[in-house]
Structure 1
Amino acid sequence: MSAVLDAVRDRRSWSKVTDEAPTHDDLLPLVAAAGRVADHSSLRPWRLIELRGDDRERLGAAIAKAEGDAKPSTKPLRAPLLIAVVASYRTGHKVPRWEQEAVASGVAHALSLLLDDAGWGVLWRTGSATRSNPVAKLHGLDENEELLGWLYVGGKPARSRPSRRRLVDAERFLSPLPAKVKKKKKKKKKR
């Protein structure tokens, strides 16, 4: 087996992490590698934002504002480092918006794999407030940008049992192209 296959197969989401986190300098080579995802025309339609310390409390307040809650959300405090994943769309280009978002998502997934392989626990979180105005304002998003969620990153706690997640049944999701496409019968209009 290859090391890459093992890393992907063994990846799991860590909903609980310790207070340890990679430094900014630890992240740089991982972000550089994650940026190598397939990217039509090399647009790099993404960016990442680190949230640490009080930044997480500010995010909790923005989430509360977006959701109409009186108390700040404590969700951002569940990890010592949050990495906001931003799709930064390049307008007026032949590469469609959906493809640019796919690139940004690919960077996030690649980065989560790299962080996991480096020994960090990672969980990709989204939520109803992800695309809200208060949260976008906090992150300083431009009008051509959307927040795709946050990678919650911290130390992996000691585990006493293996992950419960199973590999997918590949036969169920991989098929050949149909030999012949069936044509749909046109319905007759009632008069």
Structure 2
Amino acid sequence: MCEPAPDRAQLRELLLAAGSAPDHGRLRPWRFIAIEGASLGPLGDAFASAHAERDPAATDVELGRSRSKPLRAPLIVVVVACPREHPKVPAWEQRAAAVCAAHGLTLAAHAVGFGAMWRTGWYGDAPKVRAHLGLLDTEDVTGWIYLGTPRGNPPPPRPAEEPPVTWLD
């Protein structure tokens, strides 16, 4: 993806839409970290450092690929699950709500003409990346939402398929 990405006012609207995710207990067990411009480079450095720690035999080329991953879009929103102690809403359900918020962000971005790509992976579990993001021990990266303008011809949406449904009569 390339420029333009949503500006701060547009991103605020997208995050408001994302925040309407289903949320048992209205706990809002998520938060967002927006990373753009010059801040993408240090994130890439954290990715490369984590890669080197995970695989000491990684080549410079492999570390360079890790370092360049955040540069695939002009804006990344990290969706962070923040489960809270609650007597009726288990942590797994709160993490599911954060997943819904991430999905809502991608849908909202596409609805207003931006490109959005949801990435996951081990980087969110790496101590160096977690420290870079300032995550608490109780928080998890739900997804890295890359935002911008699609380059060229984006792939068409997936064709609708018959859903697997079992009817209990």
If the TM-score is normalised by the length of the shorter chain, which range does it land in? Answer: 0.7 to 0.9
User: Which deviations, in whole Å up to 9, do the C-alpha atoms of 1:104-157 show, x marking residues without a partner?
Assistant: 000000110000011001100112212111111111111211111210011123
- Distance in 1 separating the partners of 2:13 and 2:42: 28
Matches for 1:167-182 after TM superposition, within 5 Å = 167-170=160-163, 173-177=164-168
The answer for the alignment partner of 2:9 in structure 1 is 25
1:158 Cα offset (Å): 4.2
The answer for the alignment partner of 2:159 in structure 1 is 166
Q: Which moved more, 1:66-75 or 1:90-99?
A: 66-75
Structure 2: any 5+ residue segments left out of the alignment?
53-57
Kept in 1, the 8 Å contact 2:102–2:142? The answer is no
Q: CA RMSD in A?
A: 1.8
- SS in structure 2 at match of 1:141: coil
1:38 Cα offset (Å): 1.2
Letter in 2 for 1:175: T
Letter in 2 for 1:35: G
1:53 Cα offset (Å): 1.2
Structure 1: any 5+ residue segments left out of the alignment?
1-16, 180-191
Aligned in 2, Cα 1:61/1:28: closer, same or farther, shift over 3 Å?
A: same
- Distance in 1 separating the partners of 2:167 and 2:107: 29
Q: Among residues 87, 101, 104, which one is paired with 2:81 in the alignment? A: 87
- SS in structure 2 at match of 1:21: coil
Compare relative contact order (CA 8 Å, sep 6+) and give the higher one, 1 or 2. 2
- Distance in 1 separating the partners of 2:7 and 2:158: 29
Matches for 1:101-112 after TM superposition, within 5 Å = 101-112=95-106
Matches for 1:70-149 after TM superposition, within 5 Å = 71-72=63-64, 73-149=67-143
Letter in 1 for 2:159: R
Larger Rg: 1
Percentage of pairs with the same residue: 38
Select the structure that is richer in helix.
Answer: 2
Q: Among residues 21, 40, 43, which one is paired with 1:37 in the alignment? A: 21
Aligned in 2, Cα 1:79/1:162: closer, same or farther, shift over 3 Å?
A: closer
The answer for the alignment partner of 2:151 in structure 1 is 157
1:162 Cα offset (Å): 6.0
- SS in structure 1 at match of 2:85: coil
Letter in 2 for 1:81: L
